[in-house]
């Protein structure tokens, strides 16, 4: 059989050790990019693949690299990724594919110990996966040699272009052998990428996967017309009604990511934030929790989101409309993975309709308009979640210690009344307010003591911040003596603190650029909690 028409991995005549690893990963048949790419890659052809993350492109270059494993050559393959998150994920997938080939894979990226990477390189690695900057560091120091590299992969090339890595890529390619095999993958093909291909590749085979073939069958694409001030409340309603398995929310800026994540945490959702200002350790911790399902909602910037490749993301929500059609394609590609269905939701303000039309035209897709869930729909969804929670409690017999109390009350009260009272005590008011502009955490008020104003800061106990650190930062940044700062309440994911009302604007401006424990903080005025939401319903997925 012609390998190019292969319907199974066995048809590709791969090494039995590679096929065994593929089978254990649960891959049943090659994806279009794999079917079209692998046979030619095995023959040594240079390849330009126009495909996004989620199409199976990692295996499309990973399988040929591992199939062509050459014992003793260290390294013989170099894979360049735009972000540390992608480098880590690609390394993990290659490690799984190479499980029975005794082929070692090393990841090198900034933010990780250079000493440990140097030690690993001295010991020898067959495949190196890394970010451009860190690869250049090792090449400049002489701690990594590319003399034996016969295969180079440029992954997410358009993303590396956007991040300003083109000069680094050119330098790396110039240092490798001119006889190497080069594979370049990119979701879009801007002129700069084509220029690199022409200069550094030998008669490359061009393989393109139609965007419509990828996203249309698997991903339901919808939009909601939302006023800017109402976005948070609409998001809250969608999360309640849709009850996503895992949700990835995209925002334009790091500050917006912090604010949205903090607001969701205040409302009882199991949410986290991801962007470039976090330490590498924190980012890896957040990604690990999200991948394992210990975090249900992740709010991220576009750059951070590019490195997310998780199969069971059910919802991608564009809290801020993508700034270009390519960005939209990249974002929604995070859902609908591995044959699963997915939903891509985009919030569109009235002034952004022209941008929506541009996205639909360039991406050759269509978004269906939906109406914002009503208060009645949200209430019904919450009731459903409560019922599921109760069924789970009874199934695990966690209610047994309270049976005696119920039986005693049942001697004088109706059982339905007892049950309803218990739910009221546990979950609070079930009524849903109309769209609200601002809300603060349960039980908090927007103003402090007389002459003082209460402020909200996106840093809490989980960040290991101390009262003394907050006082010192306010004093240094705003020039306010610590004794003039009022009560400081450090919560799990955020902090409230009081300052003299006449100094509020000074503090807000000064703290806008403040950094505590290596993390930029966002500070704003705390505003009163709506009366109807004093006790928000604790979400089912709060782990």
354 shares a domain with 266: yes
The predicted pLDDT at position 428 comes to 58
The C-alpha atoms of residue 499 and residue 507 are separated, in whole angstroms, by 8
pLDDT at residue 485 tops 50: yes
Between helices 84-97 and 16-24, what is the axis angle to 10°?
120
Cis geometry, peptide bond prior to residue 75 (ω within 30 degrees of 0): yes
The C-alpha atoms of residue 396 and residue 288 are separated, in whole angstroms, by 28
Residue 282: half-sphere exposure toward Cβ, Cα within 13 Å: 15
**Domain boundaries, position 107:** 3-209
The C-alpha atoms of residue 260 and residue 277 are separated, in whole angstroms, by 16
pLDDT band at 78 (very low <50, low <70, confident <90, very high): very high
484 shares a domain with 360: no
Find which of 131-140, 300-309, 432-441, 442-451 is predicted with most confidence, using mean pLDDT: 131-140
Q: Looking at the domain assignment, is residue 282 inside a domain?
A: yes
Higher pLDDT pick, 85 / 52 = 85
pLDDT at residue 443 tops 50: no
181 shares a domain with 47: yes
pLDDT band at 409 (very low <50, low <70, confident <90, very high): confident
Kindly state the DSSP code that residue 117 receives in the 8-state scheme.
H
* Mean pLDDT score across all residues of the chain: 82
The predicted pLDDT at position 530 comes to 39
pLDDT at residue 4 tops 70: no
The predicted pLDDT at position 119 comes to 93
Q: Which residues, in sequence order, are CB contacts of 325 under 8 Å at separation 6+? A: 358, 359, 361, 362, 363
From 355, 375, 395, the end of a domain falls on: 375
Strand partners, 205: 47
299 shares a domain with 165: no
The predicted pLDDT at position 439 comes to 37
pLDDT band at 481 (very low <50, low <70, confident <90, very high): confident
249 shares a domain with 202: no
pLDDT digits (tens, 9 = 90+) for 104-162: 999 999 888 899 999 999 988 999 999 999 999 999 999 999 999 999 999 989 888 88
The predicted pLDDT at position 5 comes to 53
pLDDT at residue 187 tops 90: no
The CATH number assigned to the domain holding 518 equals 3.30.70.330
Higher pLDDT pick, 362 / 332 = 332
154 shares a domain with 49: yes
62 shares a domain with 43: yes
pLDDT at residue 442 tops 50: no
Question: How crowded is residue 339: how many other Cβ atoms within 10 Å of its Cβ?
Answer: 10
pLDDT at residue 534 tops 90: no
- Per the CB < 8 A criterion, the answer to whether 352 and 321 are in contact is yes
pLDDT at residue 543 tops 50: no
pLDDT at residue 536 tops 50: no
222 shares a domain with 155: no
Q: Looking at the domain assignment, is residue 409 inside a domain?
A: no
Higher pLDDT pick, 448 / 158 = 158
The CATH number assigned to the domain holding 220 equals 3.40.50.300
Main-chain phi, psi angles of 222, to 5 degrees: -135, 160
pLDDT at residue 483 tops 90: no
DSSP states of 507-522: HHHHHTT-EETTEE--
233 shares a domain with 198: no
The predicted pLDDT at position 253 comes to 87
186 shares a domain with 127: yes
Comparing 248-252, 271-275, 409-413, which segment has the lowest mean pLDDT?
409-413
Burial of 523 (0-12, 13-18, 19+ CB in 10 A): buried
From 360, 375, 390, the end of a domain falls on: 375
Question: H/E element holding 460?
Answer: none
Residue 266: half-sphere exposure toward Cβ, Cα within 13 Å: 29
From 375, 403, 438, the end of a domain falls on: 375
pLDDT at residue 401 tops 80: yes
Mean predicted confidence (pLDDT) in 182-205: 91
pLDDT at residue 352 tops 90: no
Higher pLDDT pick, 77 / 403 = 77
Query: What tokens appear for 10 in the block?
Result: 């066995």
pLDDT at residue 201 tops 90: yes
pLDDT at residue 540 tops 60: no
Main-chain phi, psi angles of 77, to 5 degrees: -135, 140
The predicted pLDDT at position 429 comes to 57
The predicted pLDDT at position 431 comes to 56
Mean predicted confidence (pLDDT) in 418-426: 74
219 shares a domain with 205: no
The predicted pLDDT at position 528 comes to 55
pLDDT digits (tens, 9 = 90+) for 216-242: 457 889 999 988 888 998 999 999 888
Collapsed DSSP state (helix, strand, coil) of residue 298: strand
Higher pLDDT pick, 323 / 356 = 356
Q: Looking at the domain assignment, is residue 108 inside a domain?
A: yes
Percent of the residues in the chain that have a pLDDT greater than 70, as a whole number: 86
Q: Looking at the domain assignment, is residue 397 inside a domain?
A: no
Domain total in the chain = 3
Q: Looking at the domain assignment, is residue 543 inside a domain?
A: no
Q: Looking at the domain assignment, is residue 300 inside a domain?
A: yes
Q: Looking at the domain assignment, is residue 186 inside a domain?
A: yes
Q: Looking at the domain assignment, is residue 129 inside a domain?
A: yes
Main-chain phi, psi angles of 457, to 5 degrees: -130, 140
237 shares a domain with 151: no
The C-alpha atoms of residue 157 and residue 96 are separated, in whole angstroms, by 24
285: nearest Cα among 431, 88, 446: 88
What sign does the dihedral 514-518-522-523 (CA atoms) show? negative
């Amino acid at each position: 059989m012609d390998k190019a028409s292969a319907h199974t991995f066995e048809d590709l005549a791969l090494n039995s050790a590679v096929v065994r690893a593929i089978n254990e990963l649960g891959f049943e048949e090659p994806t279009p990019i794999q079917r079209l790419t692998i046979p030619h890659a095995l023959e040594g052809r240079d390849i330009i693949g126009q495909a996004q993350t989620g199409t199976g492109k990692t295996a499309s270059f990973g399988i040929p690299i591992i199939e062509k494993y050459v014992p003793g050559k260290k390294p013989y393959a170099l894979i360049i990724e735009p972000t540390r998150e992608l480098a880590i994920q690609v390394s993990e997938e290659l490690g799984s594919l190479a499980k029975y080939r005794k082929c070692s894979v090393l990841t090198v990226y900034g933010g990780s110990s250079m000493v440990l990477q140097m030690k690993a390189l001295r010991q020898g690695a067959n495949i190196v996966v890394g970010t451009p900057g860190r690869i250049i560091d090792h090449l400049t120091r002489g701690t990594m040699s590319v003399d034996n590299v016969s295969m180079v992969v440029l992954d997410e090339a358009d993303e590396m272009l956007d991040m300003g890595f083109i000069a680094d890529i050119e330098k790396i390619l110039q240092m490798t052998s001119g006889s190497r095999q080069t594979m370049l993958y990119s979701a879009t093909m801007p002129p700069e990428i084509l220029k690199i291909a022409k200069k550094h590749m030998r008669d490359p085979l061009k393989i393109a996967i139609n965007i419509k073939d990828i996203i249309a069958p698997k991903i339901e694409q919808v939009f909601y017309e939302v006023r800017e001030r109402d976005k948070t409340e609409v998001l809250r309603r969608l999360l309640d009604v849709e009850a996503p398995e895992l949700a990835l929310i995209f925002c334009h800026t790091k500050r917006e990511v912090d604010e949205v994540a903090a607001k969701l945490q205040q409302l009882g959702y199991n949410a986290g934030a991801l962007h470039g200002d976090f330490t590498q350790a924190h980012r890896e911790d957040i990604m690990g929790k999200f991948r394992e399902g210990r975090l249900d909602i992740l709010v991220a910037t576009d750059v951070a989101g590019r490195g997310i490749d998780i199969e069971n993301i059910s919802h991608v929500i564009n809290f801020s409309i993508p700034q270009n059609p390519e960005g939209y394609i990249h974002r929604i590609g995070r859902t609908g993975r591995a044959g699963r269905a997915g939903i891509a939701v985009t919030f569109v303000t009235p002034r952004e309709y022209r941008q929506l039309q541009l996205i639909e035209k360039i991406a050759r897709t269509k978004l269906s308009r939906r109406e914002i869930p009503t208060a009645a729909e949200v209430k019904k969804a919450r009731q459903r979640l409560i019922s599921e929670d109760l069924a789970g409690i009874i199934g695990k017999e966690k209610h047994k210690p309270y049976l005696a109390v119920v039986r005693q009350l049942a001697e004088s009260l109706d059982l339905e009344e007892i049950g309803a009272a218990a739910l009221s005590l546990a979950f609070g008011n079930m009524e849903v307010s109309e769209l609200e502009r601002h809300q603060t955490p349960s039980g908090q008020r927007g103003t402090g003591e007389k002459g003082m104003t209460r402020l909200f800061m996106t840093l809490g106990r989980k960040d290991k911040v101390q009262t003394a650190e907050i006082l010192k930062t306010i004093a240094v940044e705003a020039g306010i003596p610590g004794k003039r700062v009022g009560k400081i309440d450090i919560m799990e994911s955020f902090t409230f603190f009081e300052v003299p009302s006449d100094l509020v604007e000074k503090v807000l401006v000064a703290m806008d650029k403040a950094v505590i424990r290596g993390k930029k903080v966002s500070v704003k005025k705390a505003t009163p909690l709506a009366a109807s939401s004093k006790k928000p319903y604790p979400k089912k997925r709060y782990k």
